[in-house]
Each structure stands twice: as structure tokens, then as C-alpha cells.
Amino acid sequence: MNRPASALLDRLYAIPFSIAAFLIVFIYSKHGGIGISPDSIVYVSSARSLVEHGKLLGYNQFPVVDFPFGYPIFLAAIKFITHVDPVVAGPYLNGFLFAAVVYTSSMIINKFVNHSLGYKCIVLLCIVVAPSLQEVYSMLWSESLFILLSLLLILALHRYFKTYTLSGLLLVSLIVSVACVTRYAGIAFAGAGGTLLLFDKKLRPGKKAQHIIIFSFISLLLLAINLYRNLHVGGFLTGNREKGITPLSDNISYFGSVVGNWLPFFPDHYTISLVVGWIVLLAIIAICVYYWVKGNQWYTSFENITSVFALVYASFIILSSTISHYERINDRLLSPLYIPLLFSFTSRIPALIQMEKTRGLRIATIAFCLTISAGFFYRQYQNNLEFYEDVSTYGIPGYTDDTWVHSQTVNFIQQHKSFFNPAYCIYSNAPESIYFNCGLVGENLPNSKFPKDVDEFYSEDHYYIVWFNNKEETPLSLHEIKQHKNLKQITSFTDGEIYECEE
């Protein structure tokens, strides 16, 4: 009778944490709704286009190739089933996904070789209050689904290693395949699964080769279809991307800076962050090697699976940021790594406490762990309090916050839509806002790093330019445009200007 009661308790204790995760998303979304970034606009517009017109087109009516089609299809399915727009459904959808992440994490913890109720509650609380995860689930971003897929993959891999059945392998492959078209970084999922299969000592060589081939084919199939479609409709595999400009050492330092910010006692300094980055990477490698040496029982454990996933994903982000230029490594990019790292570095703590032979040593170890936890929670409390004060006053940063909702430039466009001749293009340094807040189609100003696109822009004779002053990064400066084109100012506000070019 005790085992069923214990199993039931293992399921029930996670429910309050899941409910808390759900409510946090609602609290953050109360002022202005779910957070909407430029990426979110692409996801939402392509989902709307898919439901209404059967085509995966972005807000500018161009095929979406910079992002894989998985998350827009997911949002389109929600809209098709519920008849609710993704922006309106956002708080409910992300609240459910965050709650599912917390509950799935509890399922993984329950399968650790050593665990205790106190340990489980502390780790789940670490997940619920993590600013990096709260940021993701307060925004309409693909990471919200991607993180859940990573945890489902860990569960599926463990199930496969218990039986080595073809059905288990197919489930693993399917999750990886969906992850690859949710974010291109999903290729790291394939790398983690392939690595675990390759170094598994229990699989016979013949069966191992067969399963690796099956896994590789199925897990990469949707990605291959996505890339072929991108090349066919857009001319690029994953969009027009720049070569990497950040050295490997800098990316390791940025990686260490993000991880260090998750911890309670590390200042944000380049050298310290570089050391933290290397320590974390080497520690994960050591953990993976340790479990591999201990034998198959430990190699196929949840502890090792999460550690291998953490190592492969961290390596992929660092290396891809070095090879290809995109946003600097930040909380959003590393958010799928938060839970695997948390598991990797804490899963053996209950065992270490149990191994202490004297009561005094056990108490000292517990006190030390609680002190570290208290420092961690205090730092998260400070970060979350600052974020809450901002979002409760102005809304979640993005196109639903007060800066954009009450923008004078936006309000003018909303009231004078008929002024814009539909035969002429509207260019802007924030075309997403023109679509989202004004309901008009706009195009992004060309990036000065692509001279061909700039020359094509200058060759056009008639268009409008809507310039927002609150955009920190701009693809082409207004000063540069005025040097090449005669712009007639239509109106000007404190937060923006509208021009017409007619030559």
C-alpha cells in the first residue's frame, strides 16, 4: 500500500508548482497581454496567413525562411481549433506550457537514482522563479514549446534505453524531428540523441548501426523538408545570414556570463565569465565521462541523459555563434539549457547527504546547500521584483507595452491609414509595429551590411518611410538615407517621423 501512496504523492507535490507557473504568466500578462517581439510578429502573422490563406507568409507577405515552420504551424493549429488569435490565446497557451514544463521536470526528478521531497521542492521552485524561463513564457516565442520538447525528449530517451524497442526509438526520433522545425537549434537534439546511441555499451554493433541510421533519417526528415522548402520559395536554407564576427573566447565568456547570472555570487566581468564558462563546460564533460565509466545502468540514467543534452546544446550554441552571426548569447538562447544544467549539477546532492556517516556532517552539508539555495532565491527575487514592477506599470517589453500602444506615431498611422497609397511600399526600422499595431503591411529597411539590398532600395522612386526613434538598433540610418534620397517630411512626433520619397 505504501508504494502507490508514494507514487501518488510524487505526482501531487508538483501540482502547486505547476499552478504557480501558470499564474505567473497571467500576472505578467495582466497589463497589456502577452509579450510580442519582432520574432513574435513573424510567428503570429505566418500562423494567421496559414489559417486564412493556406500559405506560410510573414507580415510583409514574403515566405518565412528565417524561422522554421514548426512553431507557426503550432500557433495556426491553436487558432484553427479554438478560433482564438494566438496573441489573445498567448497568456493561456504559455501558462499551460510553463506548467507542463514544471510538471514534466517533476516526472524526471522522480526517476533520479537518489532524490528526496526537500530536494524536489527546491529544484522545482528554482524552475518556477527562474528569470530566464519567466522571460520566455511571458513572450510569444518558440522557446516556450522548444523547452517542453527537450524535457519530453529526455523522458523518451530514458524509456528507449530501458527496452531498446523500435517503437521507443521512433518516439525519440519524432520528438527530435519536431524540435528541429520548432527551432533550428533543434539539431542539437539530434546530436545529443546520436551521441547517446553511439557511446552506448549495451547496444550490439549491428543493432546500434541500424538504430543510428533510423534515428538520423527520421529525426532530420522534417528539417530536410523545411530546408528544401526554404530554398525553393526564398532562395536561402535558413535566411540571409552573416558570417560569425565573435571569437570563440568571447562566446564562451558570454556563455559564462549568462550562467553566472543564474547563480547567486558571480559578478558580470569578462574574465570571470570566461573562467565560469570553461568551468561549466569542463564540469559537464567530467560528469558525462563519469557516468559512462560507471557502466550502463548509470549511462542510461536520467542524470546522464540530461548531462549529455546540456553538453551538446551548450557546445552547439557556442560554436554556431562563432560560425554564424546572430544575437549575442543571452538568456533566451540558453533558456533550454537552464533545467538540464540544474539537474546535472544538483542530482547527486541527495546521495552525497545520505553518504555522510555522521549526523553532524549531514547537517553541515544540508546547511551549506540551503545557504547556496537561499542566495540563489534572493538573487532571483531581486530580478523578478524588478521585472514585475516594470511589466505591471508599462506591460511586458515589446509591441504590447505602453511605449508602442501609446506611441504618437503609431496613433497617427492608425487614424490616417487612408493617407498611405497602397501602390507604394512602406519602409520602416520597425515594420513589425506597423503590421501589429496599425494593420498595414510594411517592409524592413535594408541592412547596410548587404550593399545589393541597399542599392535596390535606393533605386526605387516612390515609397514611404516610417521612422521610430525608440528602436535601439537600426538596419540603415535615417542620415544615410537622406544623403541619397530627397525625403519630404509628412509629420514628426517625439517618438518618430514619417517621410515620403517621390522622385
Model confidence over 23-73: pLDDT tens digits? Answer: 999 999 999 899 999 999 999 999 999 999 999 999 988 899 989 999 999
Residue 178 CA to residue 171 CA, distance in Å, equals 11
**CA angle 54-57-61, nearest 5°?**
120
- Same domain for 421 and 305, yes or no, is no
Sheet holding 496-502, edge to edge: 443-444, 425-428, 462-468, 496-502, 487-493
Is 132 part of any domain?
A: yes
Give the number of other CB atoms < 10 A from CB of residue 394.
15
- Same domain for 290 and 423, yes or no, is no
- Same domain for 281 and 416, yes or no, is no
Range of the structural domain that residue 132 is part of? 2-347
Average pLDDT over residues 74-92: 95
Residue with the larger pLDDT of the pair 115 and 18: 18
Torsion sign over Cα 18, 19, 22, 25: negative
Is 91 part of any domain?
A: yes
Q: How confident is the model at residue 479 (pLDDT cuts 50, 70, 90)?
A: confident
- Same domain for 28 and 124, yes or no, is yes
Q: Angle, to 10 degrees, between the axis of helix 117-128 and the axis of helix 359-394?
A: 20
User: What is the pLDDT of the chain when averaged over all its residues?
Assistant: 90
- Same domain for 137 and 277, yes or no, is yes
Q: How confident is the model at residue 10 (pLDDT cuts 50, 70, 90)?
A: low
Is 365 part of any domain?
A: no
Is 389 part of any domain?
A: no
- Same domain for 241 and 146, yes or no, is yes
- Same domain for 328 and 441, yes or no, is no
Tens of pLDDT, residues 205-256: 999 999 999 999 999 999 999 999 999 888 888 877 777 778 999 999 999 9
- Same domain for 120 and 220, yes or no, is yes
Statement: residue 364 has pLDDT above 80: yes
Average pLDDT over residues 88-94: 96
Q: How confident is the model at residue 3 (pLDDT cuts 50, 70, 90)?
A: very low
- Same domain for 191 and 65, yes or no, is yes
**CA angle 324-327-176, nearest 5°?**
70
Question: What is the pLDDT at residue 419?
Answer: 85
Least confident stretch, 136-145, 255-264, 321-330, 348-357: 348-357
Is 495 part of any domain?
A: yes
Phi-psi region for residue 466, left (φ > 0), alpha (ψ -120 to 50) or beta?
beta
Q: How confident is the model at residue 7 (pLDDT cuts 50, 70, 90)?
A: low
Statement: residue 8 has pLDDT above 70: no
Instruction: Choose the final residue of a domain: 328, 347, 366.
Output: 347
Instruction: Choose the final residue of a domain: 304, 325, 347.
Output: 347
Q: How confident is the model at residue 5 (pLDDT cuts 50, 70, 90)?
A: very low
Average pLDDT over residues 305-319: 95
- Same domain for 297 and 425, yes or no, is no
Is 368 part of any domain?
A: no
Q: How many structural domains does the chain have?
A: 2
Instruction: Choose the final residue of a domain: 312, 347, 382.
Output: 347
Question: What is the pLDDT at residue 2?
Answer: 39
- Same domain for 244 and 136, yes or no, is yes
Is 382 part of any domain?
A: no
Q: How confident is the model at residue 6 (pLDDT cuts 50, 70, 90)?
A: low
3-state secondary structure of 57: strand
Q: How confident is the model at residue 330 (pLDDT cuts 50, 70, 90)?
A: very high
Question: What is the pLDDT at residue 474?
Answer: 67
Is 377 part of any domain?
A: no
- Same domain for 316 and 419, yes or no, is no
What is the percent of the chain with per-residue pLDDT over 70, rounded to a whole number?
97
